[in-house]
Amino acid sequence: AWTGEIHGRVVCDVCGDSSIGPEDHVLQGAEVAVLCITKSGEVFNYQAFTDSKGIYRVAETMPESERWDSCLVRPIGSFHEHCTQRGTTHSGIKFRYGLPSGSSHTVKPFLYKPVSVPMYC
């Protein structure tokens, strides 16, 4: 059997500057969609939510012949009351999954920004 994992973080970009700094914080409960196509062409659709550290994780065990070939990860929504605007950096990340069994792929953080930027930014 083959095992794969995809994980990443969702962050509130408090100042809306498209970079992660000390004023920013992770978003718990943010929703992320992960779509993977296997080597045989089968499509797997996953839904994940971030934990208290802002991390989402999707893992699967399947036969080696059916393993993930390419995946698309995209943010769906943030339920944080102040940080709900999707950042402008990227709306989805597509990548080839060529890792051996037991390995994990880390996706760049998805950023959300507040409706209004605080005065201290």
Q: Where are the beta strands (DSSP E) in 13-102?
A: 25-26, 31-38, 43-49, 55-62, 68-77, 85-86, 93-96
Q: Quick check: pTM over 0.85?
A: yes
Say if CB 38 and CB 97 are below 8 A apart: no
pLDDT grade, residue 116 (50/70/90)? confident
pLDDT of 117 = 85
Query: Residue 102, by phi and psi: left (phi above 0), alpha (psi -120 to 50) or beta?
Result: left
Sign of CA dihedral 97, 99, 55, 110: negative
Residue 119 domain-assigned (yes or no): no
Cα 58–Cα 101–Cα 40 angle in degrees, nearest 5: 80
* Count: domains in the chain: 1
Once rounded to an integer, what is the mean pLDDT over residues 76-89?
A: 84
For position 89, what pLDDT does the model report? 57
Residue 30: predicted pLDDT: 96
Does residue 104 sit within a domain?
yes
What mean pLDDT do residues 51-63 have?
Answer: 97
Instruction: Give me the amino acid identity at 104.
Output: S
Indicate if the pLDDT at residue 90 is higher than 70: no
Q: Does residue 76 lie in a domain region?
A: yes
**Nearest one of 85, 99, 97, 69 to 13, comparing CA atoms:** 85
- 119 has pLDDT over 90: no
Quick one: tokens of 53?
């550290």
Residues 102-107 have a mean pLDDT of 96
CATH number of the domain bearing residue 6:
2.60.40.10
In a domain, 36, yes or no: yes
